[in-house]
Structure 1
C-alpha cells in the first residue's frame, strides 16, 4: 500500500503586486502568499535567481513595487498550510517584551538569540510568533531587522499603511536608532565617528560577510563613550547614520575595538574572557528608538539590555 503524497506540485505562478503592498522585501511578499511552501524552498529559489520580476532577475533583497508581476517557478508545497505551533513559553516571552503598542505599531525589546524571521534552517522567528499572538492582524510585517544575536528595539507594523509610512521614514531621517556595545580596549574620546564604505559578499555557504572596501557603499557610524573599564573594555553608544548590514560590528572592528561575543567580526580571546564572566551573547543592543508617528506624535523609547549583560558590566566595574 502506497502512502498518499503529502506534497503537491504547484505550477508556475504569476503574482501581481497590488497597490498598498509596495516597499516589502520580495522574501516577505512570497512568504505571506505561498502558504504551505517550506521557507527553505522560498529562500532557495530566490538565491538561485529563479524568481523573476517583470521578466527580469532580481536580488533576494529586492523591494517590490505596485504593478510588479512576480513569476514563481514550479515548486512543491505541503498540503497542510497551517504554521507549525510555536512553544507557549516563547510566545509569552515575546508578549512580555512589548514596550509600546498602538493600533498600527508594536515595538518590542527583542531578546538576543531569537531571529526576526524564519528561514535558513529556522522554522520561525519573531514575525511568525507575533502572527500567532495576533492572528487578527493579517497585515503584520517587520518594519526593519536586527541580527539574530543582537537584542533590543524592533518595530512591527500591524497595518500596511504604517509599514509604508515607516519605510519612507527609514529612507529619510525620520527614524533615529541608538545602540549600546561593549568593545575591547580603551575607546578614545576623540574617536567620535567611523566613516568607512562597506561591501557585502555572500559565501558559498550562504553566509553574509561584510568588510570595509573603497568600492563599497557609504557607511557612517557615530560613537560616544558611555563608560570605561580601565584599558580593558569600553561601553559605547553607536548611532548608525546609514543602515548597512552589520555596520556597527564592522566599524567597531575597523576602529580596532571588536564587540564582545561577536563570532564573525570579534576578537576570540576577548570574547572568551567575557564569556567566562557569564556573557554568553553578542554585546550589541538596540537601546533607543525615536520616530515621528503619522499623527505627528514623537515616539521615544528606551530599553535596557538583559540581566546577563548587566551582570557582566557589574563585574567589570568591580575589577
Structure 2
C-alpha cells in the first residue's frame, strides 16, 4: 500500500520525544531500519530542515513524512477481540497518565524479532485517542505481571528518572528449584550478555559484566522447591533468572537457565511456563501522588503451588 506526503504537527504532549520513535508510532508496519534510512537521506524534514534520528521534537514542529510503500506481508498486525478483552481485564491502574497492566505470559512487550504484535502496539490500538503511549520498563516475554506504561511524556520522564535513581519499586514472585540457601537474601553477581554459537542469546555471570544486585526473600518452602520474592536493585536482562541459577536454584520452567530434568519434573506438577511473576510496582507521579499496585498471581501458577502444598 502507498501513502502520499504527510505533514504532521507535533502536539505539546509529545515535546521531547525522539523523531525516530515518533515516526515508528505512526508508520505502522515500516521496519525501523527503513525509518533510519529515510532520516539519513533527508526524506523526513522537520520545519523544512533535515534532522538526525536522535532529534527531540518540540511542540508545534511541522514534520514532513515522505510516501512510503509497505509490503502487505509487513502490514501491521491487528489486536484481535480476544487479546483486547484480555488486556481490558488486565488494566490494574489508569490514572494521572500512567497505566499498570497485568501482562499475560507469552505476550512480548513490543513487536520485533519475529513478533508482529506486542503489548505496546496492542495498547496503542486500544487507545487510538491517546497520542502518547510508551513502555516505562520491560518484562521478558515469558514473565507475567505488572508493567508500567506511560500515557504522558511528563509521566514517562518522571517515572524513568525514579527507575534510574533506584526509587521505583518492583517486586516479583518466583518458584526456584531446590532448597534456597538459608540466609541468602542478597545476590551480587556481575552479568554479561553472551551469544552462543547457535545464535541464542544468554546472560552469564562474568567478572567483566555489569554490576547486578537482587534481593531475595523466602516466602514458602516445599519439597524440592522454594517460593521466593525478588526485588531487583539493578535492572539487567534476565537478572532474577540468572541470579537464581547462580545460587544453584534456577527458576522452574526456565528453558534458558534450568535443565530439562528440572523443567520436566515441574511439568509433571502442571507447570507449562516460566514461574516468574511481576507481583507489584511502586512509584510516584509528577504531582507527588504515590502509586502502589499489586498484580495477583495467575491461576496457572496458583494451581502449581496448590499441588506443592499437598506434598
Question: TM-score scaled by structure 1?
Answer: 0.80
Structure 2 CA distance, aligned partners of 1:181 and 1:267? 17
> Do structure 1's residue 146 and structure 2's residue 139 form an aligned pair?
yes
Q: Secondary structure at the match of 2:121?
A: helix
**Paired positions, count:** 286
> Do structure 1's residue 213 and structure 2's residue 203 form an aligned pair?
no
For residues 20 and 218 of structure 1, do their structure 2 counterparts lie closer, same or farther at Cα, with a shift above 3 Å needed? farther
| Equivalence map 1:1-319=2 (5 Å) | 6=1, 22=16, 28-29=21-22, 31-37=24-30, 41-42=31-32, 64=54, 66=56, 77-78=69-70, 83-202=76-195, 207-230=200-223, 232-319=224-311
Are the equivalent residues in 2 in contact too, given 1:7–1:79 (CA < 8 A)? no
Structure 2 CA distance, aligned partners of 1:221 and 1:235? 15
Q: Secondary structure at the match of 1:131?
A: helix
Large movers: runs of 4+ above 2 Å = 18-24, 26-31, 33-36, 49-53, 63-67, 74-77, 79-85, 201-208
For residues 251 and 82 of structure 1, do their structure 2 counterparts lie closer, same or farther at Cα, with a shift above 3 Å needed? same
Residue 70 of structure 1 corresponds to none
Q: Secondary structure at the match of 1:156?
A: strand
RMSD, aligned CA: 3.2
For residues 204 and 23 of structure 1, do their structure 2 counterparts lie closer, same or farther at Cα, with a shift above 3 Å needed? farther
Once the two structures are TM-superposed, the CA of residue 297 in structure 1 deviates from its matched residue by 1.5
Q: Secondary structure at the match of 1:78?
A: coil
List alignment gaps of at least 5 residues for structure 1: 1-5, 11-17, 54-62, 68-73
Q: Which moved more, 1:295-304 or 1:145-154?
A: 295-304
Structure 1 CA distance, aligned partners of 2:77 and 2:243? 38
Structure 2 CA distance, aligned partners of 1:19 and 1:96? 27
Once the two structures are TM-superposed, the CA of residue 34 in structure 1 deviates from its matched residue by 3.6
Question: TM-score scaled by structure 2?
Answer: 0.82
For residues 211 and 102 of structure 1, do their structure 2 counterparts lie closer, same or farther at Cα, with a shift above 3 Å needed? same
Are the equivalent residues in 2 in contact too, given 1:23–1:164 (CA < 8 A)? no
For residues 82-117 of structure 1, what are the alpha-carbon distances to aligned partners after superposition, in whole Å with 9 as ceiling and x for unaligned? 743221011010110011111401101111111111
For residues 91 and 226 of structure 1, do their structure 2 counterparts lie closer, same or farther at Cα, with a shift above 3 Å needed? same
Structure 2 CA distance, aligned partners of 1:28 and 1:280? 35
Once the two structures are TM-superposed, the CA of residue 289 in structure 1 deviates from its matched residue by 0.9
Structure 1 CA distance, aligned partners of 2:232 and 2:165? 13
Are the equivalent residues in 1 in contact too, given 2:159–2:284 (CA < 8 A)? no
Are the equivalent residues in 2 in contact too, given 1:20–1:160 (CA < 8 A)? yes
For residues 79 and 97 of structure 1, do their structure 2 counterparts lie closer, same or farther at Cα, with a shift above 3 Å needed? same
Are the equivalent residues in 1 in contact too, given 2:172–2:276 (CA < 8 A)? yes
Structure 2 CA distance, aligned partners of 1:201 and 1:213? 10
Are the equivalent residues in 2 in contact too, given 1:21–1:66 (CA < 8 A)? yes
Are the equivalent residues in 2 in contact too, given 1:36–1:77 (CA < 8 A)? no
Are the equivalent residues in 2 in contact too, given 1:260–1:267 (CA < 8 A)? no
Structure 2 CA distance, aligned partners of 1:92 and 1:7? 31
Q: Secondary structure at the match of 1:167?
A: helix
Q: Secondary structure at the match of 2:227?
A: strand
Once the two structures are TM-superposed, the CA of residue 162 in structure 1 deviates from its matched residue by 1.0
Are the equivalent residues in 1 in contact too, given 2:284–2:291 (CA < 8 A)? yes
